[in-house]
Structure 1
Amino acid sequence: MADKLKTHPTTLHTEPSREQPLARVQGVPWLIVIVLLAAVAWLGWRAFFYEEEGDPVGSAMLAFEKQNSLVVFNSRFQVVAQSTNTSRVMGVPIMESAQAMIVPATVDYRLDLSQMDRDRMSWDGEAKTLEVRLPPLRTSEPNIDEAEALFFEEGLFVTGTTSRSLSTNNSEQAGRKATAFAKNPQVMALARSAAKAAIRQNLTIPLQVAGYGDVTVNVRFDGEKAPQ
């Protein structure tokens, strides 16, 4: 008799599943978001604020980057102009008229910052000193404020036409005198001093913020000797 087939029950062994902690599963998306935000912040800082270490000239250039010109001084003064007009008959003078005008004039003194490049700056790391050489100052066209002018006329009979002619001559004369006065050596010296102080302040603070410590900024114009 054939041996009876012995059957053995098959036992299935299953590995117990390891469930990840709920906090870890929920924290993964937030971790990704934080990493992305950190990356964006770093890229933004790198693009707009980062300066290579040891490049104070680059830090100084940032102070001028968004400015094409800088008004450093404003001069307001009084200009006196006087014109005369002589009426003639057959070449013979018969009447003379005169008009004097006292008028306020304003002139701005500007620095052309578009000319500022690295060649105009040098850095002494040991002395923590930045040397800056500025281009010449530019003066604006005088603003003649005729609304505030005082007029004085002389003559037995001054016609409207004559008065307007005298006024036109005085305005042109006032413009020429204002331009000449604006370039007076004493006034230009005041404007240059104001420009140096403005540039010194505009560069010292950014360098300190950039981590260069207590720095010295020496400013001079083209043609001036460097301080010894």
Structure 2
Amino acid sequence: MRPALRALGGVILIVAIVGLLYVGVGWRMRHMFDGDPSTVARASLQAVRQQNRLTPFAARFVAVVTAEESRFGFSARKTLIMPGLVRYSIDLAKLRDRDLQWDAATKTLAISLPPIELEGPEVDLTAVREYGEGGVLMTLTNAEKELDAANRKAGQAELVTQAHDVLPMRLAADAARSAIERSFAMPLKAAGIDATVTARFRDEPR
């Protein structure tokens, strides 16, 4: 048999196995929960809670900050370029039973999500860059140490500010909603229940 035909046969076999597994899981789900959407949703909620945290989105930001100081007629200036990674997550343990609402008339499962939490920033120390002017003052005094401390503090604050910007927050929210909707939609589908799943944040305007 030609290699291409063998590969095609292998793919067909894998697809067939996956299909049989899906049918088997669906049969088990339908008989286990007797087609009750609320029961399936509660079981899915328990499984989701066990994941503890969902991190659907992460973004890298770069802060550029400058600090200056003058003493004894001399001045010093340092600029810091600080990249950092921020992760956007949801504490799944905060999902409550009452956060799930099943509407039998529209066959819709509505989920209320806890707010997104930011983790970080994790500063990439290998990519940090510094540029300075005013070597005399930095040599004779502790000005450089103070400038570095001020820049580090300002850099961290700038990364946090960028992370809270509208665009990354919206991207994180969209990713979180999609992930949660899939987590609840798949068990419902496997149980043979035709349903729509919508996820919204508790603080999100309706």
**TM-score category, normalised to shorter length:** 0.7 to 0.9
User: Which deviates further from its counterpart, 187-196 or 155-164?
Assistant: 155-164
Measure the CA separation in 2 of the matches of 1:137 and 1:188: 8
Instruction: Name the structure 1 match of 2:202.
Output: 222
Structure 1 stretches (4+) deviating beyond 4 angstroms?
49-53
Q: Do structure 1's residue 80 and structure 2's residue 59 form an aligned pair?
A: no
Counterpart mapping for 1:51-90 below 5 A: 51=33, 53-54=35-36, 55-88=39-72
Normalized per residue, the structure richer in helix is 2
In structure 2, runs of 5+ residues without a counterpart are 1-27
- Tell me the amino acid that sits aligned with residue 61 of structure 1: L
Measure the CA separation in 1 of the matches of 2:165 and 2:134: 35
Of 153, 158, 162, which residue of structure 2 is paired with 1:177? 158
Counterpart mapping for 1:111-190 below 5 A: 111-157=90-136, 158-159=138-139, 161-190=142-171
Larger-Rg structure? 1
Equivalenced residue count is 173
Measure the CA separation in 2 of the matches of 1:224 and 1:212: 31
**Do the aligned partners of residues 164 and 51 (structure 1) sit closer, same or farther apart at CA in structure 2, a change above 3 Å counting?**
farther
Instruction: Name the structure 2 match of 1:212.
Output: 192
Give the alignment's TM-score, normalised by structure 1: 0.68
**3-state SS of 1:81 partner:** strand
Q: Is the 8 A contact 1:130 1:216 kept in 2?
A: yes
- Tell me the amino acid that sits aligned with residue 188 of structure 2: L
Give the alignment's TM-score, normalised by structure 2: 0.75
Root-mean-square deviation (CA, aligned residues, Å) is 2.3
Determine which structure has greater relative contact order: mean sequence separation of CA pairs < 8 Å that are 6+ residues apart, divided by chain length. Answer: 2
